[in-house]
Amino acid sequence: MGRVIGIDLGTTYSCAAYLEGNEPKIIPNLEGLPTTPSVVSFTNSGERLIGNLALRQAMTNPEKTIFAVKRLMGRKFDADEIQDMQSKIPYRLSKAENGDILIDIDSIKLTPQEISAMILSYLKKCAESYLGEEVKEVIITVPAHFNDHQRQATKDAAKIAELEVLRVINEPTSACLAYGISNKKNATVAVYDMGGGTFDITFLEINEGIFHVLATNGNSFLGGEDFDNRIVKWLLDSFNKETGIDISYDKFALQRIKEAAEKAKRELSFTLESEINLPFIYSDESGSKHIKKNLTRKELEDLTIDLIQKSIPYIGQALDESKLEPELIDEVILVGGQTRMPIIKKKISEYFRKEPNEKINPDEIVALGAAVQSGVLEGKIADLVLLLDVTPISLGIETENDTFVKIIDKNTTIPTKKTMAFTTVENNQRRVRIHVLQGESKIASENTPLAVFDLVGIEGAPAGVPQIDVTFEIDADGLAKVYAKDMATGRKQGIDVRPSSGLSNYQIEEIIKRTREGQFKVDEDDETRLL
């Protein structure tokens, strides 16, 4: 095994880390910065920019500057969240034949996995430059509440970047690993993780080097982007009220407003008031129009308090599933840049009746934990014995009358294996269709379909007589395999639950081939890519 790095592929910023001795350390990017904007931009001259260079293109080239792609990973184009997001981003999305999302860059259509792979390739290059050796293997983190589609899409992105994923771990769990390596004591820990695009709450027990996840919950479409959008809407509405002009369809103006909104939000974590000054935001025959507004911390809190409150029920549910009470929590760890917002710290302090632990940078802690996990896998960290994570969403199959039968419940420790017996519903039925689903609804059609396969050659018998054993196996990455076996004949059929949508292995290999042939060649002098 060569040098293994940890990567936190974030919605807004991404970060890489490695293990030096027993200590995880951040890998700076090519500009010497600890984090890299998760942004890819394609210039009119054919260059591809990653990170800060791409971010600088956002105002002048908004339709070809791609950000927040993590929110698109493993999702369907027709999903309500995606349709709402489409109205708030300057770049164009379209629908793939299988219902997935495509990102339109002029005549080229790219998948979210390909954009994420470009960010991962850049982080890989940064690591190789910094460490002075080739990097082929990675521990990669995902939001705890990512479903199977989203986890597989993340692994596909890494494969396109020619990185072998040794382990996928949940971001809050990774953060707790980083906490545990620097705080060598037994504790019950809550990890409140709100980043740029996702929210998770996870409860863990640390006991003699064993990290045992008790429960996790969250929302993979709740994060800093939503806070930014509230400020954007406030500015657009104010401008419309003052001038009678709607500039929400002006992509260049919208990008300037979005950048100013994010800047103001960051400032208000440290000051009580921020000035937003956007001269010449619009011009017509009556002259130029400007935006000049003061936004106070209190006004921002009023604009976004419902987003903060939206996270609280997830905490309560995860507490119930952990069989814990707030007063039993020894440490609260805040993860993700959005948790710098003072009111979030205040609300979490009130909920758990203790001040959060802020000793580790919330932007870096997840990547540091992934680096710790690399040391665990390599046997370099003797103090950390075992990581016991959980599956965040229940898995099961569809039965008659659109009924969903759970076989593995959410928050089951992984890896795991469980078998449940089923039977036929018709006389002399020779075939059964196994429809694998993920979700919590008792109604099958309300859950996420993962895979379908048929078990054929069942021995003819009256309805209800045959015994069909369905077995689910979930690996340490949270990905599943499913088997069905007719106990009378011994016939067995199984499937690795790779989402029916997403990229096929053939498509991934074709993308890698194009990359190697230079269509996405890395310019060694800067962060440029050629399209």
- What is the model's pLDDT at position 380? 80
Is 171 part of the annotated catalytic residue set?
yes
Is residue 96 domain-shared with residue 128, that is, in the same domain? yes
Please check whether residue 171 lies inside any domain of the structure: yes
Task: Return the bridge partners of 431, or none.
Answer: 456
Catalytic residue among 193, 205, 262, 331: 193
Catalytic residue among 8, 156, 228, 486: 8
- What is the model's pLDDT at position 498? 60
The CA radius of gyration of the chain, in Å to the nearest whole number, is: 24
State how far the Cα of 359 lies from the Cα of 19, in Å rounded to an integer: 19
143 within 8 A of 218, measured Cβ to Cβ? yes
Is residue 167 domain-shared with residue 233, that is, in the same domain? no
State how far the Cα of 459 lies from the Cα of 428, in Å rounded to an integer: 8
CATH number of the domain bearing residue 455: 2.60.34.10
Q: What is the full DSSP assignment across 184-243?
A: -S-EEEEEEEE-SS-EEEEEEEEETTEEEEEEEEEETT-SHHHHHHHHHHHHHHHHHHHH
Q: Which tokens sit at 25?
A: 């350390």
Please check whether residue 207 lies inside any domain of the structure: no
Is 246 part of the annotated catalytic residue set?
no
More confident residue, 137 or 498: 137
CATH number of the domain bearing residue 243: 3.90.640.10
- What is the model's pLDDT at position 522? 35
**Closest alpha carbon to 163 in 126, 132, 120:** 120
State how far the Cα of 418 lies from the Cα of 415, in Å rounded to an integer: 11
Pairing of strands 40-42, 47-50: antiparallel
Task: Return the bridge partners of 189, or none.
Answer: 204, 331
Please check whether residue 290 lies inside any domain of the structure: yes
**Closest alpha carbon to 337 in 194, 138, 508, 439:** 194
- What is the model's pLDDT at position 409? 95
388 within 8 A of 212, measured Cβ to Cβ? yes
Is residue 374 domain-shared with residue 479, that is, in the same domain? no
Interval 328-359: pLDDT, tens: 999 999 999 999 999 999 999 999 999 998 88
DSSP assignment, residue 521?
P
> Last residue of a domain, which of 266, 301, 336?
301
State how far the Cα of 472 lies from the Cα of 419, in Å rounded to an integer: 6
- What is the model's pLDDT at position 78? 94
Catalytic residue among 70, 124, 293, 406: 70
Is residue 56 domain-shared with residue 86, that is, in the same domain? yes
Residue 529 has pLDDT above 50, yes or no: no
- What is the model's pLDDT at position 54? 95
Is residue 468 domain-shared with residue 523, that is, in the same domain? no
Catalytic residue among 114, 137, 148, 171: 171
- What is the model's pLDDT at position 386? 76
Residue 226 pLDDT class (50, 70, 90 cuts):
very high
Handedness of CA 321, 325, 331, 334 (dihedral sign): positive
Select, from the ranges 329-343, 469-483, 489-503, the one with the highest average predicted confidence (pLDDT): 329-343
- What is the model's pLDDT at position 526? 38
Interval 1-29: pLDDT, tens: 568 999 999 999 999 999 998 899 999 99
User: How many Cα atoms sit within 13 Å of 205 on the Cβ side?
Assistant: 11
Please check whether residue 24 lies inside any domain of the structure: yes
Residue 457 pLDDT class (50, 70, 90 cuts):
confident
174 within 8 A of 41, measured Cβ to Cβ? no
CATH number of the domain bearing residue 39: 3.30.420.40
Please check whether residue 491 lies inside any domain of the structure: yes
State how far the Cα of 7 lies from the Cα of 16, in Å rounded to an integer: 4
State how far the Cα of 89 lies from the Cα of 104, in Å rounded to an integer: 12
Is 509 part of the annotated catalytic residue set?
no
Average pLDDT, the chain: 90
Is residue 404 domain-shared with residue 523, that is, in the same domain? no
> Last residue of a domain, which of 301, 335, 369?
301
Is residue 517 domain-shared with residue 453, that is, in the same domain? no
- What is the model's pLDDT at position 499? 52
- What is the model's pLDDT at position 519? 54
- What is the model's pLDDT at position 210? 87
Is residue 409 domain-shared with residue 264, that is, in the same domain? no
Model pTM score = 0.89
Q: Where do the DSSP E strands lie in 258-324?
A: 273-284, 287-296
Please check whether residue 342 lies inside any domain of the structure: no
Residue 266 pLDDT class (50, 70, 90 cuts):
very high
Residue 323 has pLDDT above 80, yes or no: yes
Choose the weakest-confidence range: 267-281, 375-389, 450-464. Answer: 375-389
Q: Where do the DSSP E strands lie in 301-360?
A: 331-335
Residue 517 has pLDDT above 70, yes or no: no
Is residue 474 domain-shared with residue 523, that is, in the same domain? no
Domain that holds residue 279: 224-301
- What is the H or E stretch that residue 398 is in? strand 395-399
Is residue 45 domain-shared with residue 148, that is, in the same domain? yes
Is residue 120 domain-shared with residue 163, that is, in the same domain? yes
Task: Return the bridge partners of 100, or none.
Answer: 76
> Last residue of a domain, which of 272, 301, 330?
301
- What is the model's pLDDT at position 530? 30
Q: Which tokens sit at 271?
A: 């000051």
Please check whether residue 27 lies inside any domain of the structure: yes
Please check whether residue 83 lies inside any domain of the structure: yes
- When divided into structural domains, the chain yields a total of 3
- What is the model's pLDDT at position 382? 67
State how far the Cα of 225 lies from the Cα of 229, in Å rounded to an integer: 6
Is 193 part of the annotated catalytic residue set?
yes
Is residue 462 domain-shared with residue 523, that is, in the same domain? no
- What is the model's pLDDT at position 385? 62
